[in-house]
């Protein structure tokens, strides 16, 4: 088994654990297509918004805000989607696995949750041992939309992206 296969297995196991914690009636898959890899989450313009499915936009805003909170440290690293396996391509969140001090990562997660509280979004930091990318070295920071908050998630997330676009990024 290759290291890539092991990483995928660890992602799948963690995704299912997160889905159970959310109380979903279906599983989550750790999607191989990496979020934020084709464009910087810091850039929010009309072409950016036109190129993304609506449900991805709020997660890009959260990633951009997370980078801002961290004073632009490299916090979006080895990121992957949490995709509901009952729907085609619909994410419930994302996981980023940066190389950070655990105490700093926990503060970042609390601040990110506080900033997006109205959105129905929770960000939490897991132990380094749970990292699918590099167990024991990278910190899994999990951001999920909570069940029952789709309207708030899209309203606040897309609205925030539009305001940023009007302000010029």
| Domain chopping of the chain, boundaries | 3-35+42-167
The per-residue DSSP string of 92-119 comes to EEEEE-----HHHHHHHHHHHHHHTGGG
Tokens coding 127: 């132990």
pTM reported for the whole predicted model:
0.89
Instruction: Kindly report the backbone phi and psi dihedral angles of residue 28, in degrees, each rounded to the nearest multiple of 5, phi listed first.
Output: -115, 145
Residue with tokens 């109205």: 118
Tens of pLDDT along 76-100?
888 888 888 876 567 789 999 999 9
Question: What is residue 60's predicted lDDT score, i.e. its pLDDT?
Answer: 87
- For residue range 18-47, what is the model confidence (pLDDT) as tens digits? 999 999 888 887 765 667 665 565 566 667
Task: Give the confidence band of 168 by pLDDT, cuts at 50, 70, 90.
Answer: low
Q: Are 81 and 36 in contact (CB under 8 A)?
A: no
User: How many angstroms separate the CA atoms of 7 and 116, rounded?
Assistant: 29
As a whole number, the mean pLDDT across the chain is 86
């Amino acid at each position: 088994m290759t290291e890539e296969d092991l990483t995928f297995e660890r992602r799948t196991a963690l995704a299912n654990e997160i889905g159970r914690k959310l109380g979903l009636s279906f599983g989550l898959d750790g999607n191989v297509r990496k979020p934020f890899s084709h464009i910087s989450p810091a850039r929010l313009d009309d072409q950016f918004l036109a190129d993304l499915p609506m449900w991805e936009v709020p997660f890009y805003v959260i990633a951009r805000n997370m980078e801002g909170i961290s004073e632009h440290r490299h916090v979006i690293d080895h990121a992957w989607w949490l995709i509901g396996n009952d729907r085609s391509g619909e994410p419930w969140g994302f996981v980023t696995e940066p190389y950070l001090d655990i105490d700093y990562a926990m503060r970042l997660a609390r601040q990110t949750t506080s900033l997006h509280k109205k959105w129905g979004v929770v960000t939490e930091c897991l132990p380094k041992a749970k990292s699918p990318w590099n167990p024991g070295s990278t910190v899994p920071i999990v951001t999920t939309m909570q069940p029952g908050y789709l309207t708030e998630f899209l309203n606040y997330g897309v609205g925030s992206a539009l305001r940023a676009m009007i302000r010029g990024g």
